[in-house]
Amino acid sequence: MASPAALTSPEAYADAVATAVRAAAAYYADGDTPLGDDEYDALVRAVEAYEREHPDEALPESPTGKVAGGAVVGDVPHSAPMLSLDNVFSAEELESWAAGLERRLGRPAAAWCVEPKLDGLAVAARYRAGRLTQMLTRGDGLAGEDITHAADAVLGLPAQLVEPLDVELRGEVLLTHEQFEQANAVRTAHGATPFAHPRSGAAGTLRAKDRPYRVELTFFAYDALGLPGLPGVPGLDHADLLARLADLGVNTAATTDAAPRRCATLAEAQQRIDEIAALRASLPFGIDGVVVKADAVADQDEAGSGSRAPRWAVARKLQAQHKVTRLLAVEWNVGRTGIIAPRAVLEPVVIDGVTVTYATLHNPADIERRGLMIGDQVFVYRAGDVIPRVEAPLADQRTGSEEPIVFPEVCPRCGDAIDTSEQRWRCVRGRGCQAVASVIYAAGRDQLDIEGLGGTRAVQLVETGLVADIADLFTLTKEQLLTLDRMGETSADNLLAAIETARSRPLNRVFCGLGIRGTGRTMSRRIAAHFGSMAAIRAANAEALAGVDGIGAEKAAVIVAELADVAPLLDKLAAHGIGTAVTEPTAPAAASSAEAAAEGPLTGESVVVTGAMTGALADLSRNAMNELIERAGGKASSSVSKRTTLLVAGEKAGSKRAKAEELGIRIVTPEEFAVLVADQLDLS
Ligand code: IVH
Which atom in ligand 1 lies closest to the alpha carbon of residue 121? 13
Nearest to 608 by CA among 635, 574, 576: 635
Nearest CA to ligand 1 atom 21: 122
Structural contact between residues 606 and 637, judged by C-beta atoms closer than 8 angstroms: yes
Contact between 414 and 461 (Cβ < 8 Å): no
Q: Which residues of 6-23 are buried (b: 16+ CB within 10 A; e: fewer)?
A: ebeeeeebbebbebbbeb
Radius of gyration of the chain (CA): 33
CB 381 within 8 A of CB 391: yes
Task: Write the DSSP assignment of 392-408 as a string of letters.
Answer: EE-GGG--S--EEPPPP
pLDDT band for position 677 (cuts 50, 70, 90): confident
Given a cut of 60, whether residue 230 has pLDDT beyond it is no
User: Does the structure show a pLDDT above 80 at 37?
Assistant: no
Hey, what CATH topology would domain 77-317 get? D-amino Acid Aminotransferase; Chain A, domain 1 (3.30.470)
In whole numbers, what is the pLDDT of the chain averaged over residues?
87
> What are the structural domain ranges in the chain?
10-71, 77-317, 322-404, 430-502, 507-594, 597-680
Verify cis geometry, omega within 30 degrees of 0, for the bond prior to 260: no
Note the pLDDT of residue 70. 60
- Ligand 1 center to residue 336 CA distance, Å? 46
The residue to mutate among 37, 89, 113, 117, having the most atoms of ligand 1 within 8 angstroms of its beta carbon, is 117
pLDDT at residue 588, rounded to an integer = 53
Asked if residue 163 lies in contact with residue 130, where contact means CB atoms within 8 angstroms, the answer is: yes
Substitution site in 138, 172, 288, 305 for ligand 1 pocket (most atoms within 8 Å of beta carbon): 172
Above pLDDT 90, what percent of the chain?
A: 51
- Tens digits of per-residue pLDDT, 379-428? 898 765 567 889 888 888 899 999 999 999 999 988 889 999 988 898 98
State yes or no: pLDDT of 682 exceeds 80: no
What one-character-per-residue DSSP string does 625-643 give?
HHHHHHHTT-EEESS--TT
Q: Count of CB atoms within 10 A of residue 211's CB? A: 15
pLDDT in tens, 184-196: 889 888 888 788 7
| Active site members | 117
- DSSP code per residue over 503-540: TT--HHHHHHHTT-TT--HHHHHHHHHHH-SHHHHHH-
Q: Please determine, for residue 1, whether its predicted confidence score (pLDDT) is greater than 80.
A: no
pLDDT bucket at 633, cuts 50 / 70 / 90: confident
Positive or negative CA dihedral for 275, 277, 282, 286? positive
pLDDT value at position 51? 87
Task: For residue 86, report the distance from its CA to the centre of ligand 1, in Å.
Answer: 10
Residues with CB under 6 A from ligand 1: 83-85, 115, 117-118, 122, 172, 222-223, 291, 310, 313, 315
What pLDDT score does 362 carry? 84
CATH topology of domain 597-680: Rossmann fold (3.40.50)
Ligand 1 atom 3: residue of nearest CA? 222
Cα–Cα distance measured from residue 468 to residue 479, given in angstroms and rounded to the nearest whole number: 18
pLDDT band per the 50, 70, 90 thresholds, residue 493: very high
CA 668 to ligand 1 centroid distance, Å: 66
Mean pLDDT across 575-589? 77
Q: What is the pLDDT of residues 513-537, one digit of tens each?
A: 998 887 888 899 999 999 999 999 9
DSSP letter at 64 equals T
Q: Are 464 and 369 in contact, with CB atoms under 8 Å apart?
A: no
Task: Report the nearest atom of ligand 1 relative to the CA of 309.
Answer: 2
Separation between Cα atoms, residue 112 and residue 581, nearest integer Å: 70
CATH architecture of 322-404: Beta Barrel (2.40)
Distance from the alpha carbon of residue 519 to the mean position of ligand 1, in angstroms? 50
**Does 430-502 match 507-594 in CATH topology?**
yes
pLDDT of residue 622: 86
Q: Which of ligand 1's atoms lies nearest the C-alpha of 122?
A: 13
Give the Å distances, CA to CA, from 64 to 21, 260, 309: 10, 29, 12
Per-residue pLDDT for 590 more than 70?
Answer: no
CA 84 to ligand 1 center in whole angstroms: 6
Per-residue confidence (pLDDT) for residue 289, from 0 to 100: 94
Say if domain 430-502 classifies as CATH 3.40.50.300.
no
Contact 148, 203 (CB under 8 A): no
Q: Which CATH number fits domain 10-71: 1.10.287, 3.40.50, 1.20.120, 1.25.40?
A: 1.10.287
Q: Indicate the fold that domain 507-594 takes in CATH.
A: DNA polymerase; domain 1 (1.10.150)
Torsional class of 112: left (φ above 0), alpha (ψ -120 to 50), beta (otherwise)? beta
Residue 85 alpha carbon, nearest atom of ligand 1: 24
For atom 9 of ligand 1, the residue with the nearest CA is 117
Q: What is the pLDDT of residues 281-297, one digit of tens each?
A: 889 999 999 999 999 99
At 48-78, the pLDDT tens digits run: 989 888 888 888 788 887 666 666 557 899 9
Rounded to the nearest whole angstrom, what is the distance from the C-alpha of residue 423 to the centroid of ligand 1?
40
Instruction: Read off the pLDDT of residues 97-130 as tens digits, 9 standing for 90 and up.
Output: 999 999 999 999 999 999 999 999 999 999 999 9
pLDDT, residue 378, reads 93
* φ/ψ (deg, to 5) at 367: -60, -45
Is residue 42 helix, strand or coil?
Answer: helix
Q: Which atom of ligand 1 is nearest to the CA of 116?
A: 15
